[in-house]
Structure 1
Amino acid sequence: MLAAFVLFLLAIMASDLTRRRVPNGLVLLGAAGAALALLLNRQPFGLGWEEALAGGSIAFGALLLTYALGVMGAGDVKFAGALGLWTGLAPLVPIWIGASLLAGLHAVLWLALRRWPVAPRLFLALSSPRIARNGDGKRNTATPARKARHVPLAAYLAMATLIWIAGGRGSAPALAAPLY
């Protein structure tokens, strides 16, 4: 089931990086995969229902506030809930810290390239697809007044989770090991 989880993370990354969208169907598929892994007792990180539900609930609830403030999209929030179902509560803080650092780097680089256009292709790659179509960094008035999302947080949460898995934290014995 770890392979299914990794494929889910890669699909989220591809969608969020290229279109700045996290499809509901993909999030639902990921949450269903986590539930199936729990039902079949094949949860890749050795979690039970309580740990998985705690992770999903806390992840969803924590990001719901930032969505309510207009800081991020709903897809990021829903993905965080599905991610928490897979990982449980314990690894969420290091995953969020890693994702926040990646997202912060993305934002700083985007702002710098917007101000000093030394690498226009990189600027467009870091921009939302709507900005990339316009090419000028300004709001497209032909589209609805939906706020452009420049930072693909779900993609960075998925990347940080893959780093966490690759670092050995993704195995059940490593979860129990001390962090020092």
Structure 2
Amino acid sequence: MPYLWLLWLLLVTVHDARQRRVPNWLVLGGAALAGGALAMNAQPFGVHWPDALTGAALGFGFLLVFHVAGLMGAGDVKFAGALGLWVGAAPLLPIWIGASLLAGLHAVLLVVLRRLPWFPRLTLMLSGRPRATDDPGLRQQTRPIPFAAYLAVVAAVWMAWGRQS
């Protein structure tokens, strides 16, 4: 089951980094895998139903505030809820902090690169603006930071190193 979880995180990371969105099928697929793992007592992190549901509610509810304020996309919020279903409530705070630090670094780097246009391709990649080959109807928003991707990366790091005692 941890390999399916890591595959799901990889898919979310790639999709969000490339398109700046996390599609519903990917979020629902991850939530269904989490529910299946819980139902079969095959949950890789020792999380049980009450903690998983609390994690899902906290993950969704906390980031929903940022979405309502226009600071975050809905896919990021839904992904955080599905992630909370996997990891439970306790790991969410360190995962959020790590992802926020990465997103902050992304924002600072983007500001610097926009002021010093030495690397235009890197600036374009970090900004999330559509390339000539992208579908113009796909990108309605201008959110340059793929927060779900950073949540996924930090969650994978948490699994690999943070859980070892």
TM-score class, shorter-chain normalisation, is: over 0.9
2: distance between equivalents of 1:155 and 1:144?
18
> Across the two proteins, how many residue pairs are aligned to each other?
163
Q: TM-score, normalised by structure 2?
A: 0.93
Whichever residue aligns with residue 85 of structure 1, its letter is L
Whichever residue aligns with residue 107 of structure 1, its letter is A
Q: What's 1:6 paired with?
A: 6
Kept in 2, the 8 Å contact 1:18–1:129? The answer is no
Q: What's 2:93 paired with?
A: 93
Moved over 2 A (4+): 142-147
Q: TM-score, normalised by structure 1?
A: 0.86
Mapping for residues 16-95 of structure 1, pairs under 5 Å:
16-95=16-95
Q: What's 2:149 paired with?
A: 155
Mapping for residues 130-145 of structure 1, pairs under 5 Å:
130=130, 132-133=131-132
1: distance between equivalents of 2:9 and 2:138?
29
Unaligned runs of 5+ in 1: 134-141, 175-180
Q: What's 2:105 paired with?
A: 105
2: distance between equivalents of 1:38 and 1:155?
24
SS of corresponding position for 1:81: helix
Whichever residue aligns with residue 149 of structure 2, its letter is A
Q: Given the superposition, is the C-alpha separation of residues 86 and 144 from structure 1 closer, same or farther in structure 2, using an over 3 Å criterion?
A: closer
2: distance between equivalents of 1:51 and 1:77?
18
Kept in 2, the 8 Å contact 1:110–1:126? The answer is yes
Whichever residue aligns with residue 84 of structure 2, its letter is G
Shift of residue 21, structure 1, vs aligned partner = 1.2
User: Deviations for 1:44-67, whole angstroms, at most 9, x for unmatched residues?
Assistant: 001110000000000100000100
Kept in 1, the 8 Å contact 2:19–2:139? The answer is no
SS of corresponding position for 1:129: coil
Q: What's 1:115 paired with?
A: 115
Kept in 2, the 8 Å contact 1:59–1:92? The answer is yes
Unaligned runs of 5+ in 2: none
User: Deviations for 1:29-81, whole angstroms, at most 9, x for unmatched residues?
Assistant: 00000000000000000111000000000010000010000001000000000
Percent identical: 55
Q: Given the superposition, is the C-alpha separation of residues 24 and 109 from structure 1 closer, same or farther in structure 2, using an over 3 Å criterion?
A: same
Shift of residue 129, structure 1, vs aligned partner = 3.4
